[in-house]
Structure 1
Amino acid sequence: MRLKVNDVVDAVSQLVSQGYDREFRIKDGRLFDLAHSSALDPKDIHVDTALRLASGRDGEDASNIYAISDRKSHSKGLLIDAFDIFDEICDRGLADRLAENRRTDFVEDSDVPSRYGLRKVYKSEFDRDPERYVLRIDYPDFPECPFGESFSMLGFDTAEQTYVWLVTGILRNSRLNRIPYQGADVPDNE
């Protein structure tokens, strides 16, 4: 199936209208159907469409959308890799299966100062002050995700105290400090 889209939101909208109504996520390297809270066997899935949308200078920012059919349950859903990192966090067999027939389209947004309502930070800005930016993981105060899911991680500008969109080239940078959410209401012992 071939899609003509401008961004992830457009792709999700088209695919949902074609019956891809389940939400899939990667947890512990495996593919999960959130409706059933169960892992899917990579042998039971078919990747109907895999699209990588690259933008920015030299494709330094990219997102992936996977339209997946589960042959066992006869359901269809979407797996969205807004940060272009599934190749690194998935089980190798699943990552290979997802990327096998992935098509890359380049979308023009190199001059766009934001993505999904968040200020976009390019690698050149990060390189000027890498300690200014961190990657927050599973924080409860993330802004709403525009494609009906929830963000699992987002960049944070410690100087401005605001969430930002870090281009995917930054996410692979070893200087980026990753901060998982540690829970709430921890008493301050001062």
Structure 2
Amino acid sequence: MSLKVADVVDAVSQLVDQGYERKFRIKDGHLFDLARSSVLDTKDIHVDTALRLASGRDGEDASNIYAISDLKSHRKGLLVDAYDIFDEICDRGLADRLAENRKAEFVEGSDVPSRYGLRKVYKREFDRDPERYVLRIDYPDFPECPFGESFSMLGFDTAEQTYVWLVTSILQDSRLNRIPYQGADVPDNE
């Protein structure tokens, strides 16, 4: 299946129109169907379309969209890798299956100042002050995600105290501090 898309939101919209309505996620390295609350066996899926959208200098920012058919239930859904990290966090067999026929496209407007309403931070800015930025994971105050999902992690600018979009090359940088949400309420010491 061939798509002509401008960005991730456009790709998701087109694929939903083609019947890919289920939401898939990666959970503990495996493909998970949110509606059925179950893991899908890699041998029971077909990746109908795999698209990598790269932007920025030398493709320093990328997202992947996968249109997947569950051969057992005959249902179709989407897996969105907005951060280009699934190759690292998926079970090796699933990662290979997802990337097998992935087509890459370079999207126009590669140096856009924002993504999904968040200021975009490029690697050259991060390199000037790497301690300024952190990656927050599972925080409850994340802004709304534009393609009907929810963010699981976002960059945070500690100087401006605002969420930012960190390009993929920053996410792969070992200097980036990753901070999972602790979930505990801090008592008020008045």
TM-score normalised by length of structure 1: 0.98
Q: 2:176 — aligned with what?
A: 176
Within the alignment, does 1:102 sit opposite 2:86 as a pair? no
By how many angstroms is 1:110 displaced? 2.4
Cα drift, residue 137 of structure 1:
0.4
1:109, CA displacement in angstroms? Answer: 2.2
Instruction: Answer whether contact 1:56 1:108 (CA < 8 A) is retained.
Output: no
CA apart distance, 1:17:
0.3
* Residue 141 of structure 2 corresponds to residue 159 of structure 1: no
Report how far residue 188 of structure 1 moved: 5.6
Q: Please say if 1:141 is aligned against 2:166.
A: no
Question: What SS does the aligned partner of 2:169 have?
Answer: helix
How many pairs does the alignment contain?
Answer: 190
Identity of aligned residues (%): 89
**Residues 57 and 111 in structure 2, CA contact (< 8 A), matched pair in contact too:** no
For residue 82 of structure 1, what is the aligned residue in structure 2?
Answer: 82
Alignment deviations for residues 131-155 of structure 1 (CA, whole Å, 9 cap, x no partner): 0000000111100000000001000
- Alpha-carbon separation, structure 2, partners of 1:2 and 1:184: 46
Q: Show structure 2 runs of 5+ residues with no match.
A: none
CA distances 1:138-185 after superposition (whole Å, capped 9, x unpaired): 111100000000001000000000000000000000000000011031
Which residue of structure 1 aligns with residue 4 of structure 2?
Answer: 4
Question: What TM-score, normalized to structure 2?
Answer: 0.98
Does the CA-based 8 Å contact 1:23-1:35 persist in structure 2? yes
Tell me how large the CA RMSD over aligned residues is.
1.1
8 Å Cα contact 2:51-2:66 kept in structure 1:
yes
- Ranges of 4+ aligned residues in structure 1 off by more than 4 Å: none
SS in 2 for 1:83: coil
Question: Counterpart of 1:124?
Answer: 124
Q: Does 1:13 align with 2:13?
A: yes
CA drift at 1:108: 1.8
Q: Please say if residues 50 and 66 of structure 2, whose CA atoms lie closer than 8 Å, have aligned partners that are also in contact.
A: yes
Q: Which runs of 5+ in 1 are unaligned?
A: none
